[in-house]
Amino acid sequence: MTEVNLRKSPAKFSIPKISSNVWKVWRRNADVFTKTIGVNFLPSMLEPIIYLFAFGFGLGGFIPEVNGLPYINFIAPALVAISVMNGAFFECTYGSFVRMYYQKTFDALVATPISIDEVVAGEILWGATRGAINSTIVLTVIGISGLLTANPIITTPLFILMPIIAFFSGLMLSSIAMCFTAISPNIDFFNYPIFLFITPMLFLSGTFFPMNTLPNPAQGLALTTLPLAQIVNLTRGALTGATETLLGLTTKTLIPISIIWITIITIIFFILSINLMKKRLIR
């Protein structure tokens, strides 16, 4: 028999301990996704088609050029970035909350050799995967639309990096989303992050109008605080070969800045979300 120790429970804040068990959690969600694939694919496909049609062809008819690009070519990379954001954020807010709170899936998982750290990490990885899947669908729609209109929106072979960009961008958004899930008292709470965080970001990140039309302080603020602005930089770089020029910084500087920004924020929120979730679930 092991030595009896009477010490108290471990410290409150810790670096997550994670094994390959996270993939079991990921697999569970992937299994559910493939089972309901029809329901999942259609909205992800329709949304970019509507955006492309309404903004690209509709509104775009009134706008000659943005930063030297046809309007539809300007917004297309942003649509990819938005699909990553929505896929990851909604999966790890509403999706995770339903599994945690209503379906008690987390409770069932932690009775097996899977730890709570791994459950949360698996959820976040799955959120990132949803981001990557969504971006691939949107990219395909854009590619086809480009072929049909004889205006190839995707002009560099770098677009093949898109799933990787989407996965890591998704990892950031999922981690942020999971923090909200950990502190939400009920499912209606998500109205706050959606209306105060997601919706403003949707319009202010160089998505539907160029960010460099904003006054310099606003550009600086957007570039330092908005996750979507970083993702847009990366998708615009990967699809059209260049980002906007912001505060005198060009593609060469902005891409590394965005990569470093995403990496740091992802690490912080990933660790924070697991700790917040443990605080919520382990009583």
Partner 1 sequence: MFVEWVIFSNESRDVLIKAVKLTKKYDDFVAVDGIDFEIYSGECVGFLGPNGAGKTTTVRMMYCFLPPTSGDLIIAGLSVHDRCREIKQVVGVAPQEDNLDLDFSVVKNLVVYARYFDISKEEALKRANEQLDFFQLQEKRDMPIEALSTGMKRRLIFARALLHKPKVLLLDEPTTGLDPQARHLVWDAVRQLKKLHVTIILTTHYMDEAEILCDRIIIVDHGKIIEDGPPKELIKKHIGENVLELDYDSTLLPMLKQTFSDARIEVIGERMQVFTSKPYSVFDGFLHEHKIQNVTLRKANLEDVFLKLTGRALRTND
Q: Distances from the Cα of 233 to the Cαs of 49, 127, 244, 259, in angstroms?
A: 22, 21, 7, 9
Rounded Cα–Cα distance for residues 168 and 7 (Å): 39
Q: Is residue 282 involved in binding partner 1 (CB under 8 A)?
A: yes
Over the window 27 to 46, marking each residue x when it contacts partner 1 by CB under 8 A and - when it does not, the resulting string is: xx--xx--x-----------
Closest CA relative to residue 85, chosen from 204, 182, 216, 221: 204
Q: Does 283 bind partner 1 (CB under 8 A)?
A: yes
Residues 105 and 165: their CA atoms lie apart, in Å, by 30
Q: CA dihedral in degrees (11, 12, 16, 17; nearest 10)?
A: 40
**Shortest Cβ 23–partner 1 spacing (Å):** 10
Chosen residue from 73, 93, 96, 105 binding partner 1 by CB under 8 A: 105
Point out which span in 53-61, 108-116, 175-183, 267-275 binds partner 1 (CB under 8 A).
108-116
Candidates 22, 76, 114, 179: give the one binding partner 1 (CB under 8 A).
114
Range in contact with partner 1 (rule: CB under 8 A) among 113-121, 145-153, 161-169, 268-276: 113-121
In the set 5, 34, 186, 191, which binds partner 1 (CB under 8 A)? 5
Inter-residue long-range contacts of 99-107, CB under 8 Å, 24+ positions, other chains counted: 99/123, 100/181, 100/281, 101/187, 105/28, 106/281
Distance of alpha carbon 178 from alpha carbon 159, whole angstroms = 28
6 binds partner 1 (CB under 8 A): yes
The single residue among 112, 140, 156, 216 that binds partner 1, judged by CB under 8 A, is: 112
Q: How far is the CB of 1 from partner 1 (least distance, A)?
A: 6
| Helices vs strands, H then E, count in the chain | 12, 0
Distance of closest approach, residue 127 Cβ to partner 1, in angstroms: 16
- Answer yes or no whether residue 252 interacts with partner 1 by CB under 8 A: no
Which residues, in sequence order, are bridge partners of residue 249? 246
Q: Which of 4, 15, 37, 39 binds partner 1 (CB under 8 A)?
A: 4
In the complex, which residues of this chain contact partner 1 (CB under 8 A)?
A: 1-2, 4-10, 21, 24, 27-28, 31-32, 35, 103-105, 107-115, 282-283
